[in-house]
């Protein structure tokens, strides 16, 4: 018998987590369940539509958004382990349906209940600490959409502060873009490289052994660069550390 | 300025390999950001001022015709002349004919981005006039026959040694063994050279930060005081400004002024803020005999009422480029025209056509830092996205991008098919990548693997594993 006082959460896995790093999805499920949520993963989800939206293809972005909204209607909340996808859904879906009265209330309800994972834990559920251990020094990169569209900055640091054995060494510019930018990094690889080079230099200067962030796109970009540079810094999604599920190989490490 | 935006990619390549430029860009990254942050933090009402400034401009743009009329009336009452120029060419022709009407030979100029936009110097020089830039940065790039690389710091792409070399090359009559090792010595040398030019000039041309409808006043802000000498000493003062510089009242302008220098350089105010209203009146100790204002449209009125209208709030503070990771990487010239950085990525396509400058709004990670510091709260990434939409509608996006996107969208709209195919693909990719955990080369991902390894997937997708563990939702 499901406990009806528990909030029901539809997990929006995000396409990158689904394809490249399912462990982040399972970490998110654990964190949400530990916090007392009932978690479901609707099968009818693929991507939030951001690649189409940011490429100027509104028609496809809107069609994808309609699918997402429908798939998540049964839940109290929609939670994504990504500031970028959550930002797309929360801050931009409204624009895709502007002037369409038949969708207005559904879109409004959807955007109001959509959150990024870590800020959902702290700001909505009031979680102040997690039960996890991760010995060592980490540095945290503020991914752009989460930081500037959703105001995520203190929340991950607060929860990381409760992880046993973990210390944070801040970068000089943790809030500067890593150069990923979705399709940007393959459309303008030379500029993207110049930006990520400054980022990895900043990361190395902290002396941290582990780099964390809340968005897999940025993490894959920075991990890819660090590995190419021969760095020993390990790269993980913040949810993996918070859930105590960071014992497997880091991003880009052999299995 | 010669348009090279269509060659954005080769401009970028050039910029990334230019060691002098890269060194200078280090100064941009270090110079502006902390100062702005401190200035903003020191003013408790800073965020409220931003809201207010946005509202002032929005109100003005909604009633632009009324305020333009009121402004013209006031200028005329104070003895000045207002000229409306629809195009860049019209503006140049108006200015040139004013210069000719007084038999001018030498023209001094304060810093003006509009003059850059309309190519004023080249036009006047072709008409036989000598133009002298009096802002230090503009003076330097004029010596080098370059365009500005930044809207408030036109020579920010240069290092001190390069400027020293230019001064030694051009100021031949000065002693060769003089000491020019300090920025201050460069500044005083430029001042000495320019002093003679100020006195010789027949016409002084300045831009304007505001045109105040209430009083018919033009306002300039500078840190060098060169603008004041440009507009006071010659017998004719010509102001060149674009339509959106209209501001209803002195009070409105003062509010926006509180944001301008703080956002630009982190100063509370620029060193000089100068208000000019009409020509010299009887009894005035100084001032020009004639006062002209040339108001340029150049496509701006067609932005009104469109998704690009917000861009007309821009006060040209430069904060967006100072905080832009793309600008930090390639500098201003790579953008290929007068306006670089995020504001240029939005404005340039309106002024020269998106078919010629389509790279600009695409070369952005949408990190949003520009919008977060823009004093006028201009949603720059959103407007770059609007340009991408226009390109997409007009089939201007590259064929490979469109093809990739349509294949991806086809699958993304069909969850069952998507999960089936990605499941297969990730298993294969995961199996290949297992040994090393990453790929140093991947077909179709050359843009990524040229500089980075590509992290291999775990293997089975989340959806596959979830189904196996918990069954379908
Ligand atoms: S867009 Fe905003 S930040 Fe950029 S120059 Fe204009 S006012 Fe300044």
Three-state secondary-structure class, residue A153: coil
CATH topology of A3-123 equal to that of A127-242?
yes
Chain segment B119-131, per-residue pLDDT in tens = 999 999 999 999 9
CA A99 from centroid of its chain's CA atoms: 30
Task: Give pTM, 2 decimals.
Answer: 0.95
Q: Which two tokens stand for residue B14?
A: 């050039």
Give the integer Cα–Cα distance in Å for B348 and B358. Answer: 9
Reference B392, options B383, B382, B405, B381; nearest CA is B405
Give the angle subtended at the CA of B89 by the CAs of B86 and B94, to the nearest 5°.
80
Task: Answer yes or no: are the C-beta atoms of A209 and A234 closer than 8 Å.
Answer: yes
Say if CB A171 and CB A242 are below 8 A apart: no
Can you give the residue ranges of every domain in chain A?
3-123, 127-242
Query: Angle CA(A13)–CA(A48)–CA(A187) in degrees, nearest 5?
Result: 110
Distances (CA, A) of B250 to B74, B240, B244, B424, B447: 13, 19, 16, 67, 52
Q: Which chain B residues are closer than 8 Å to A220 by Cβ?
A: 454-455
Nearest CA in chain B to A185: B448
User: CB of A113 within 8 A of CB of A76?
Assistant: yes
Measured between CB atoms, does A201 come within 8 Å of chain B? no
Write out the two tokens for B192: 């000495």
Distance CA B270, CA B209 (A): 12
Q: How far off is chain B from A139, nearest CA to CA, in Å? A: 20
Q: Using an 8 Å CB-CB cutoff, list chain B residues near A18.
A: 422, 461-463
Q: What is the CATH number of domain A127-242?
A: 3.40.50.11810
Q: Name the token pair of B306.
A: 């469109």
Q: Which residue has the tokens 């990771």?
A: B325
Q: Measured between CA atoms, how close is A4 to chain B, in angstroms? A: 17
**Residues of A (137-176) whose Cβ lies below 8 Å from B:** 144-145, 148-149, 175-176
- Please name the residues between 84 and 143 in chain A that touch chain B, using a CB distance below 8 Å: none
- How far CA A7 is from CA of A29, A39, A78, A87, A223, in Å, comes to 13, 9, 11, 21, 35
**Cβ pairs A/B, distance under 8 A:** 214
Tokens of A150: 């959703």
Selected from 3.40.50.10420, 3.30.365.10, 2.60.40.1890, 1.25.10.10, the CATH number assigned to the domain covering B43-159+189-298 reads 3.40.50.10420
Domain ranges of chain B: 43-159+189-298, 414-472
Query: What pLDDT tens digit does each residue of chain B (473 aa) get?
Result: 789 999 999 999 999 999 999 999 998 888 899 999 999 999 999 999 999 999 999 999 999 999 999 999 999 999 999 999 999 999 999 999 999 999 999 999 999 999 999 999 999 999 999 999 999 999 999 999 999 999 999 999 999 999 999 999 999 999 999 999 998 999 999 999 998 888 899 999 999 999 999 999 999 999 988 888 899 899 999 999 999 999 999 999 999 999 999 999 999 999 999 999 999 999 999 999 999 999 999 999 999 999 999 999 999 999 999 999 999 999 999 999 999 999 999 999 999 999 999 999 999 999 999 999 999 999 999 999 999 999 998 888 777 778 788 888 888 888 888 888 888 888 888 887 877 888 887 766 778 888 999 898 988 999 999 999 987 54
Reading chain A (255 residues) residue by residue, the pLDDT tens digits are 455 689 999 999 999 999 999 999 999 999 999 999 999 999 999 999 999 999 999 999 999 999 999 999 999 999 999 999 999 999 999 999 999 999 999 999 999 999 999 999 999 999 999 999 999 999 999 999 999 999 999 999 999 999 999 999 999 999 999 999 998 998 999 999 999 999 999 999 999 999 999 999 999 999 999 999 999 999 999 999 999 999 999 999 987
Closest residue by Cα to residue A85 from A157, A142, A40, A146: A146
Which CATH number is A3-123's, of 3.40.50, 3.30.160, 3.10.28, 3.40.91? Answer: 3.40.50
Residues of B in contact with A62 (CB under 8 A): none
CA distance B22 to B25: 5
Would you call B202 exposed, middle or buried from its count of C-beta atoms within 10 A (0-12, 13-18, 19+)?
middle
């Amino acid at each position: 018998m499901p406990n009806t006082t528990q909030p029901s959460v539809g997990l929006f896995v995000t396409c990158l987590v689904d394809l490249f790093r399912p462990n982040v999805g399972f970490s998110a499920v654990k964190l949400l369940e530990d916090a007392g949520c009932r978690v479901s993963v609707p099968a009818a989800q693929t991507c939030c539509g951001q690649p189409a939206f940011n490429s100027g293809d509104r028609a496809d972005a809107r069609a994808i958004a309609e699918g997402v909204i429908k798939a998540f209607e049964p839940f109290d909340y929609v939670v994504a382990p990504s500031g970028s996808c959550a930002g797309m859904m929360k801050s931009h879906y409204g624009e895709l349906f502007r002037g369409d009265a038949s969708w207005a209330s559904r879109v409004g309800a959807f955007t109001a209940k959509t959150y990024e994972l870590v800020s959902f834990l702290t700001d909505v559920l009031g979680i102040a600490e997690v039960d996890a251990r991760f010995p060592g020094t980490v540095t945290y990169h503020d991914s752009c959409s989460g930081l500037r569209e959703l105001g995520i900055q203190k929340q991950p640091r607060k929860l990381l502060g409760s992880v046993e054995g973990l210390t944070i060494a801040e970068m000089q510019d943790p809030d500067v873009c890593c150069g990923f930018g979705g399709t940007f990094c393959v459309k303008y690889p030379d500029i993207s490289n110049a930006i990520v080079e400054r980022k990895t230099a900043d990361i190395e200067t902290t002396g941290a052994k582990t780099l964390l962030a809340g968005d897999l796109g940025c993490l894959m970009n920075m991990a890819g660069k660090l590995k190419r540079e021969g760095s020993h810094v390990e790269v993980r999604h913040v949810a993996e550390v918070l859930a105590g599920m960071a014992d497997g190989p880091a991003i880009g490490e052999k299995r | 300025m010669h348009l090279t935006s269509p060659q954005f990619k080769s401009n970028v390549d050039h910029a990334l390999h230019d060691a002098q430029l890269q060194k200078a860009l280090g100064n941009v990254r270090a110079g502006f950001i902390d100062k702005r942050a401190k200035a903003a933090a020191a003013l408790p009402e800073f965020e409220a001022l931003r809201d207010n400034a946005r509202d002032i401009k929005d109100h003005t743009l909604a009633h632009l015709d009324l305020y333009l009329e009121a402004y013209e009336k006031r200028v005329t009452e104070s003895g000045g002349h207002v000229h409306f120029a629809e195009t860049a060419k019209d503006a140049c022709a108006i200015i040139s004919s004013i210069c000719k009407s007084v038999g001018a030979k030498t023209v001094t100029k304060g810093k003006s981005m509009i003059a850059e936009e309309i190519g004023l110097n080249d036009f006047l020089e072709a008409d036989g006039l000598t133009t002298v830039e009096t802002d230090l940065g503009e003076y330097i790039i004029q010596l080098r026959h370059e365009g500005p690389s930044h809207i408030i710091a036109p020579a920010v792409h240069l290092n001190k040694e390069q400027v020293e070399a230019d001064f030694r090359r051009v100021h031949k009559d000065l002693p060769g063994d003089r000491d020019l090792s300090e920025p201050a010595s460069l500044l005083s040398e430029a001042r000495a050279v320019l002093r003679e030019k100020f006195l010789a000039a027949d016409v002084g041309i300045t831009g304007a930060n505001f045109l105040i409808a209430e009083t018919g006043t033009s306002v300039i802000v500078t840190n060098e005081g060169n603008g004041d000498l440009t507009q006071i000493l010659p017998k004719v003062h010509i102001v060149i400004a674009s339509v959106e510089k209209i501001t209803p009242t002195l009070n409105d302008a003062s509010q926006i002024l509180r944001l301008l220098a703080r956002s630009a350089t982190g100063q509370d105010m620029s060193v000089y803020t100068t208000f000019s209203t009409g020509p010299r009146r009887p009894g005035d100790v100084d001032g020009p005999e004639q006062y002209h204002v040339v108001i340029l449209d150049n496509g701006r009125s067609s932005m009104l009422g469109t998704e690009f209208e917000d861009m007309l709030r821009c006060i040209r503070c430069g904060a967006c480029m100072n905080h832009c990771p793309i600008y930090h990487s390639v500098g201003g010239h790579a953008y290929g025209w007068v306006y670089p950085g995020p504001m240029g990525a939005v404005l340039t396509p309106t002024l020269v056509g998106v078919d010629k400058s389509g790279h600009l709004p695409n070369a952005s990670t949408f990190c949003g830092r520009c919008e977060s510091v823009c004093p006028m709260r201009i949603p720059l990434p959103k407007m770059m996205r609007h340009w991408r939409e226009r390109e997409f509608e007009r089939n201007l996006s590259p064929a490979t991008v469109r093809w990739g996107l349509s294949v991806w969208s086809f699958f993304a709209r069909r969850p069952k098919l998507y999960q089936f195919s990605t499941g297969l693909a990730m298993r294969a990719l995961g199996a290949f990548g297992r040994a090393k955990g990453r790929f140093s080369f991947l077909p179709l991902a050359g843009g990524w693997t040229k500089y980075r390894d590509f992290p291999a997937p775990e293997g089975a997708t989340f959806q596959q594993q979830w189904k196996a563990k918990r069954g379908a939702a």
